[in-house]
Amino acid sequence: MPYYTYEGRDTKGKLVRNQAFAVTQQNLISNLQSAGITILSIKNASAIGEQKQKMYKKIRNKDLVLLAKELAVLMENGIPMIEALEVTLKQMTSEKLAGAVLAIKKDLESGLSMHGSLAKMPHIFGDLWTYLVEAGEASGQMPFVLRHIQFLLESREDIHKKTINAMIYPALLLGATVVALIIFAFKIIPMFKGIYASLGAGKELPMVTRGVLFFSGFIKNEFLLITFGIVLIVFFARQIMTTSSGRRAYEKILFSSPVLGQLCIAIVVEKFSTAIQVLLKSGIPIIRSLEMAANTTENHLFAEKIEEAKAKVIAGLPLADALQYTGIFPPIAISFIRVAEKTGSYSEMFEEVAKYHKDIVETSIVRVMALMEPVMLITMGLVIGVIVIAMFLPIFRLANLG
């Protein structure tokens, strides 16, 4: 079925830009006019999509957002999933994602469920897609679920962009500090060392100067060894992070850290709350929703805590008390859930919890990065200041003796 993009004005004169599927362009025009929309322009996007596009190999987050959006639009217009996947393939610019979508289409044609097919590619789609799509298949609300996957991915991308933007200035300061230290270690400090040697200064040099000279000589002479050591540490750290125990230990350190701990907790609680409210709205029972939503956070320690809470709920403990025993959920979140237990509006309350913690995440990111800027400036000033003082102190002493 052809896919169109259009631009028009509604009955209030507001500009409307959207996309839709229709048997013919004239059929779409009739439908829009019936809806009170005055058409300004309309294009056959299917024809555009079928033109040869420049492909790239990697999968960007916006590719997954677009996939969820296109599938949701198609299914909202009554297009079956297999046909919807075929249409999205024509619009794709990521080779890797196109291959994954083609594999899903073949799996569906062979009788496999969509969530089962997604589960075979966790490195591309992850638990978020797998569990929410499973909920959509079970409830028959696939367009609703796909829309929420789109919104979730967009929200996470928005937070990621804000984090990157906030980190630019501290990263530049750190980079400038490292470059300055390298220049001092390889050029400036050896020059002063030569001057001191020509003057016959040795043990008479101040302790701070001797320390800086030793530091410079160590970096200059062992630069390759230091570089290799850093690469080795990073490699082993990444290997440890691939193990469940290593990942759990890392997450425990993050949760207990004084500055980043509350931010990390807010992030996982926001992810969990957003996912569980979609699952509950899709008709998934609370026990199963707890398990599925916990896995979408991609945090092993949090998932284990939710598993413990789930066991307590099965044993008869109220949900709010079970989640409180995890020690992760903030008091405000527990209060919301207690209200849900009284009213029965779990999905609405978890939606409020998600909104509240999303605001906390965005605010915390700005605050943490704002705190890092002066810390980086002070650290940079102290390091360079100590080096400069250490280098000129012997000269000042010689001038005073003279």
Give domain status of residue 90, yes or no.
yes
Residue 232 pLDDT > 90, yes or no? yes
**Are 92 and 182 part of one and the same domain?**
no
Query: What CA–CA distances, in Å, run from 43 to 6, 20, 30, 315?
Result: 6, 10, 15, 58
Q: How far apart (Å, rounded) are the C-alpha atoms in residues 143 and 365?
A: 32
Of 31, 43, 33, nearest to 9 by C-alpha is 33
Give domain status of residue 145, yes or no.
no
Task: State the chain's mean pLDDT as an integer.
Answer: 84
Confidence of residue 110 (pLDDT cuts 50, 70, 90): very high
**Are 174 and 288 part of one and the same domain?**
yes
Confidence of residue 55 (pLDDT cuts 50, 70, 90): low
- Which pLDDT score, from 0 to 100, does residue 52 have? 47
Average pLDDT over residues 135-140: 86
Give residue-wise pLDDT tens across range 324-381.
Answer: 998 888 899 999 999 988 888 888 899 899 999 888 888 888 888 778 888 888 888 8
Residue 221 pLDDT > 70, yes or no? yes
Give domain status of residue 147, yes or no.
no
Give residue-wise pLDDT tens across range 170-186.
Answer: 888 888 888 888 888 88
**Are 187 and 68 part of one and the same domain?**
no
Give domain status of residue 131, yes or no.
no
Pick the last residue of a domain from 70, 102, 124. 124
**Are 233 and 111 part of one and the same domain?**
no
The answer to whether the beta carbons of residues 296 and 131 sit under 8 Å apart is yes
Q: What is the CATH number of the domain that holds 257?
A: 1.20.81.30
**Are 281 and 395 part of one and the same domain?**
yes
Q: How far from the centroid of its chain's Cα atoms is residue 184's Cα?
A: 37
| Of 396 and 118, more confident | 118
Residue 399 pLDDT > 80, yes or no? no
**Are 38 and 74 part of one and the same domain?**
no
**Are 109 and 258 part of one and the same domain?**
no
Query: What CA–CA distances, in Å, run from 391 to 1, 12, 172, 385?
Result: 75, 73, 26, 10
**Are 95 and 15 part of one and the same domain?**
no
What's the pTM?
0.71
**Are 173 and 260 part of one and the same domain?**
yes
**Are 305 and 363 part of one and the same domain?**
yes
Give domain status of residue 385, yes or no.
yes
Confidence of residue 46 (pLDDT cuts 50, 70, 90): low
Give residue-wise pLDDT tens across range 249-301.
Answer: 888 888 888 778 888 888 889 889 988 988 888 888 888 888 888 888 888 88
Give domain status of residue 189, yes or no.
yes
Residue 51 pLDDT > 50, yes or no? no
Give domain status of residue 141, yes or no.
no
* Number of structural domains in the chain: 3
Residue with tokens 């809806």: 35
**Are 257 and 387 part of one and the same domain?**
yes
Residues 286-325, buried b or exposed e (16+ Cβ, 10 A)? eeebbbbbbbbbebbbbbebbeebbebbeeeeebbebbbe
Residue 47 pLDDT > 60, yes or no? no
Q: Which domain holds residue 375?
A: 154-402
**Are 101 and 164 part of one and the same domain?**
no
